[in-house]
């Protein structure tokens, strides 16, 4: 979910209300950075880290839905051209991502 902040000039600024990440992003400095920017960090704690003071983190329903995104990334990893980045231009890479998603969708519909 994005929050649009109007600016005086140019395009309005889009900021995320919440960032959902995995345990690799668990650090105090990263959490403070997100809060300063107005985003709620939804990051589970690493087990090998010291316990934080205060109440424990509640991950909520949004983190449980994260597997859908990870599954989509895994499906896209079946396209060798997207894993090894052959394209020099980002427009070409985006086009191949779109083609891979279309092929995934068609294959899922035909099953």
From first to last of its 111 residues, the chain has per-residue pLDDT tens of 555 555 566 666 777 788 888 888 888 899 899 999 888 888 888 777 666 666 556 666 777 777 787 888 888 888 877 777 777 888 888 888 899 889 889 988 998
CA atoms within 13 A on the CB side of 17: 5
Distance between CA atoms of 66 and 70, rounded to whole angstroms?
7
CB 34 within 8 A of CB 20: no
What pTM, to 2 d.p., does this model score? 0.53
Distance between CA atoms of 48 and 101, rounded to whole angstroms?
37
CB 100 within 8 A of CB 76: yes
Q: Where are the domains of the chain?
A: 1-60, 65-111
Question: What pLDDT was estimated at residue 109?
Answer: 92
């Amino acid at each position: 979910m994005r929050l649009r902040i109007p600016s005086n000039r140019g395009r309005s600024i889009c900021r995320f209300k919440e960032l959902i990440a995995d345990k690799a992003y668990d650090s105090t400095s990263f959490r403070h950075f997100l809060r300063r920017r107005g985003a709620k960090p939804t990051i589970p704690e690493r087990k090998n880290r010291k316990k934080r003071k205060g109440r424990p983190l509640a991950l909520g329903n949004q983190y449980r839905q994260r597997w859908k995104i990870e599954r989509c990334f895994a499906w896209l990893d079946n396209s060798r051209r997207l894993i090894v980045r052959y394209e020099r231009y980002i427009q070409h890479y985006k086009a191949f991502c779109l083609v891979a998603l279309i092929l995934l969708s068609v294959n899922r519909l035909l099953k």
